[in-house]
Amino acid sequence: MTPIEKIDHAADLSKHRFRFYDFMMAATCVVIVCSNIIGAGKVAMLGGVSFGAGILFFPLSYVAGDVLTEVYGYARARRVIWAGFAAAAFAAGMAAFITWIPPAPEWNVDVGGLTKQDAFALNFGQAPRIVAASCFAIWAGELTNSFVMAKMKVASGGKHLWRRTIGSTAAGQGVDTLLFYPLAFAGAWSAELLLTVMVTNYFLKVAWEAALTPVTYRVVGFLKRAEGVDVYDKETDFTPFSVKS
């Protein structure tokens, strides 16, 4: 393994060749896209508790965001967040366009009381309102998570990783939840259901992140040793409107 070098300025990484950064970016984009397309609109119930189905996998993107910020710094994590946002927006647009295209008559047969087109639209034809709310909430929540993670690392001198991962998730998931559900479902869901799903989702997401803390420690430790860097964002430009790394 490469000796770990403490980096205080993201610019010092400009000539560094990373072995696993691209894989982390791809994994994060996949989780964001799948959560946005597959799980955003379904309310599930287990043990009498209602929750958004996407919660089962979407928090993995926050774990990835924590790892990216801890190892590579805020600027490179921000670049991944923008890539995930673009990927989610493209996937949603593609799903909407393909749903809109008129189906071929020989394909659009009746299946269990629904045509194939109707069934396809139910699965992929999300309302533009839900798509826009989801993409915006993901972008804002992930950036908040990364920002808080980076600031807490500098303030703590790199100590107590578990506090940073849970604290940043509490902030990021709070922003995501407060934005997504009211923007996507206010007026369409009852106020009681909306509040129930919001509160349940928030606490389940944070609890899920906390439960994955041992995994986060292992991944962070491996990547720091493999990449040979440990970034502290002491002189970083924290504007969210940039993809510079």
Give the per-residue pLDDT at 10: 65
Domain assignment present for 26:
yes
Domain assignment present for 145:
yes
Cα separation of 123 and 50, whole Å?
A: 20
Domain assignment present for 211:
yes
Cα separation of 190 and 192, whole Å?
A: 5
What's phi and psi for 188, nearest 5 deg? -95, -35
Give the per-residue pLDDT at 39: 65
We report the CATH number of the domain holding residue 59 as 1.10.1760
Q: Which amino acid is at 9?
A: H
Cα separation of 155 and 94, whole Å?
A: 43
Which DSSP helix (H) or strand (E) runs through 158?
none
Domain assignment present for 239:
no
Which DSSP helix (H) or strand (E) runs through 126?
none
Give the per-residue pLDDT at 44: 80
Q: Which residues of 199-229 are buried (b: 16+ CB within 10 A; e: fewer)?
A: ebbbebbbebbeebeeebeebbeebbeebbb
Cα separation of 160 and 157, whole Å?
A: 9
pLDDT tens, N- to C-terminus, the chain (245 residues): 567 888 876 666 777 889 999 999 999 999 988 887 776 567 788 888 777 677 778 888 999 999 999 999 999 999 999 999 999 899 888 888 998 999 999 999 988 888 999 988 877 777 678 888 888 999 999 999 999 999 999 999 999 999 999 999 999 999 999 999 899 889 988 999 899 888 988 998 899 889 999 999 999 999 999 999 999 999 899 999 999 87
Domain assignment present for 242:
no
Domain count, the chain: 1
Domain that holds residue 53: 5-12+20-231
Domain assignment present for 214:
yes
The model's pTM: 0.89
Domain assignment present for 144:
yes
Give the per-residue pLDDT at 212: 93
Cα separation of 22 and 20, whole Å?
A: 6
Domain assignment present for 240:
no
